[in-house]
Amino acid sequence: MVGVKKSALEGRRVLELADEKGVYCGKLLADMGADVIKVERPGGDATRYFPPFWRDEPHPERGLFFLYMNTSKRGVTLDIEKAEGRELFGRLAATADIVIETFKPGYLDGLGLGYETLQKANAGLVFTSITGFGQTGPHRDFESSDMVANAMGGSMCVVGEEEDPPVRLAGSQAHVMASTCAAASSMIALYHASLGGRGQHVDISVQEVTLSVSHISGVGKWLDDDMIPKRRGTGLFASVPSGTYFCKDGLVYLMVNRPLHWKALAEWVNEETDNEEILDSMFEGPSSNRIPYRELLDLYISELTSRHTVAEIYHEAQRRHIACTPVNTAATVAADEHLAERGYFVEVDHGPAGRLAYPGGPFVHSETPWSIRRPAPRVGEHNEEIYTGDLGLAREMLRELEEKGVI
């Protein structure tokens, strides 16, 4: 149709053999238009049972984690440990541009489904592995999780109160960051393959990604500022002032790094509270000058924020070019006027179950729009469509494979 813009990855096929470490990678590619085929074990993937559940009803089709992380994908079931399953996966891989997998290093090689084997039949294949510690090195066979990645990636060293035990980051941020890195890396490798005709094995270590994406986790601050960050509650060790501050109706998060930002904040506090001490020259300059006075400055700033609502502090701070944001709950995010005006939340049709509002795209493409094209697949929803339609299996063969527990 004239005037209709294509999606960025239209015409590309991705096979996803991913647990919670890599499922978001598949979502990013699917919502950008790729035909992502989620390959689950017969009966469904374990992530279908991750809470919370829609309407608090535990069910493999109602897990909110699964529903969100698998939008726009098609889904099949397949036991790749059975010979027939391996043969079918090999046939699918021959039609794919990218394979995403999160098994332990060497597992797929042992089944004859590793990169070296699949690449022989598909020279342009991009094979993306997302594991706790990568494919090589002394930790490659260690068990991992999002919490382990937070700990060994450094973030838990700087989150929480200094006198309390370490605190993990909310949600599954290490896995989301690794999946995001994997999606970007896969697209770079795909572009390379489109130029030279040969794919690559993309090796993503969740620990390495966690180390690299956050400047506050340790290495960056040491190299740049000779500082070893420590846990300072809600504040950042090297950004003073920083942290959460009480308002009349909630919390704001505020941080200052640059001398001019500090000057703007100090003048604001002085204007509203008549506090003259905050204008003292000993507080001026970079954040490192203010580190010894963190607690005192927090008191001065709290005197300002406690006089106002969250919205008042947020908007006035923005007007003065001070980094400040409301500390939102899930409910306030869902009701946010700015997000509503931008059309961030999108409704997804779940058929007889009704429509659900989903968070929208993490980015906006001007020429190749992002979109959720379908809800997460039901268990084995597209078995017949893909095995008989795409691979040409007879329906009798499909029934036989079902009886054997292959699909």
Does residue 296 contact residue 302 with C-beta atoms inside 8 Å?
Answer: no
**26 plus 113 within the same structural domain:** yes
Query: Would you say residue 156 has pLDDT above 90?
Result: no
Asked, for residue 64, whether it belongs to a domain, the answer is yes
**284 plus 384 within the same structural domain:** no
Domain boundary among 297, 327, 357: 327
**168 plus 263 within the same structural domain:** no
Half-sphere exposure in the Cβ direction for 21 (13 Å, CA): 29
Query: Would you say residue 2 has pLDDT above 50?
Result: no
pTM > 0.85: yes or no? yes
- Which residues are bridge partners to 243 per DSSP? 254
Q: Could you give the percent of the chain with pLDDT greater than 70? A: 96
Q: What is the pLDDT of residue 3?
A: 53
Asked, for residue 221, whether it belongs to a domain, the answer is no
Query: Would you say residue 165 has pLDDT above 90?
Result: no
Work out the angle between the directed axes of helices 173-196 and 23-31 (0-180°, nearest 10).
50
Q: What is the pLDDT of residue 274?
A: 96
Asked, for residue 252, whether it belongs to a domain, the answer is yes
- Which of 183, 175, 239 has the alpha carbon at shortest distance from 207? 175
**183 plus 75 within the same structural domain:** yes
Asked, for residue 333, whether it belongs to a domain, the answer is no
**160 plus 305 within the same structural domain:** no
Query: Would you say residue 219 has pLDDT above 80?
Result: no
Token pair listed for 113: 């489904």
Q: What is the pLDDT of residue 216?
A: 61
Token pair listed for 209: 């990604």
**319 plus 381 within the same structural domain:** no
| Residues contacting 325, CB < 8 A, separation 6+ | 252, 253, 314
Token pair listed for 246: 């009480």
Token pair listed for 12: 């590309």
Query: What range does the domain containing 249 cover?
Result: 242-327
Q: Tens of pLDDT along 6-60? A: 899 999 999 999 999 999 999 999 999 999 999 999 999 999 999 999 989 999 9
Token pair listed for 64: 């909110």
Q: What is the pLDDT of residue 183?
A: 98
Dihedral (C-alpha) 73, 74, 75, 80: value to the nearest 10 degrees? -90
Token pair listed for 91: 């046939």
Token pair listed for 298: 């927090």
**29 plus 120 within the same structural domain:** yes
At 246, which CATH number?
3.30.1540.10
Confidence class for position 236, pLDDT limits 50, 70, 90 = confident
Burial zone of 234 (CB within 10 Å; 0-12 exposed, 13-18 middle, 19+ buried): middle
For the residues 157-170, what does the mean pLDDT come to?
83
Asked, for residue 316, whether it belongs to a domain, the answer is yes
3-state helix, strand, coil split of the chain in percent (to 5) is: 45, 15, 45
Asked, for residue 226, whether it belongs to a domain, the answer is no
Between CA 77 and CA 41 the distance in angstroms is 5
For the residues 169-185, what does the mean pLDDT come to?
94
Q: What is the Cα 202 distance to its own chain's centre?
A: 18
At 363, which CATH number?
3.40.50.10540
Between CA 207 and CA 174 the distance in angstroms is 8
Between CA 379 and CA 199 the distance in angstroms is 30
3-state SS, one letter per residue, for 352-399: HHCEEEECCCCCCCCCCCCCCCCCCCCCCCCHHHHHHHHCCCCHHHHH
Pairing of strands 13-17, 98-101: parallel
Does residue 287 contact residue 240 with C-beta atoms inside 8 Å?
Answer: yes
What value does the mean pLDDT of the chain take? 92
Between CA 395 and CA 391 the distance in angstroms is 11
Asked, for residue 286, whether it belongs to a domain, the answer is yes
Query: Would you say residue 155 has pLDDT above 90?
Result: no
| Residues contacting 200, CB < 8 A, separation 6+ | 126, 127, 189, 192, 193
Query: Would you say residue 73 has pLDDT above 70?
Result: yes
Asked, for residue 338, whether it belongs to a domain, the answer is no
**275 plus 394 within the same structural domain:** no
Q: Tens of pLDDT along 296-348? A: 999 999 999 999 999 999 999 999 999 999 999 889 999 998 899 989 999 99
**32 plus 144 within the same structural domain:** yes
Token pair listed for 407: 């699909």
Confidence class for position 1, pLDDT limits 50, 70, 90 = very low
**132 plus 272 within the same structural domain:** no
Greater model confidence, 134 or 287:
134
The sign of the torsion formed by the CA atoms of 66, 78, 143, 208 equals: negative
Domain boundary among 296, 327, 358: 327
Q: What is the pLDDT of residue 403?
A: 94
| Residues contacting 61, CB < 8 A, separation 6+ | 48, 378, 379
H or E stretch at 349: strand 346-349
Domain boundary among 274, 295, 327: 327
Q: What is the pLDDT of residue 384?
A: 96
Dihedral (C-alpha) 396, 401, 402, 407: value to the nearest 10 degrees? -130
Q: What is the pLDDT of residue 231?
A: 75
- Which of 330, 314, 329 has the alpha carbon at shortest distance from 254? 314
**362 plus 322 within the same structural domain:** no
How many domains is the chain partitioned into structurally?
2
Q: What is the pLDDT of residue 148?
A: 93
**254 plus 106 within the same structural domain:** no
Q: What is the pLDDT of residue 80?
A: 97
Q: Tens of pLDDT along 98-125? A: 999 999 999 999 999 999 999 999 999 9
Q: Could you give the percent of the chain with pLDDT greater than 90? A: 77
Token pair listed for 354: 């009704």
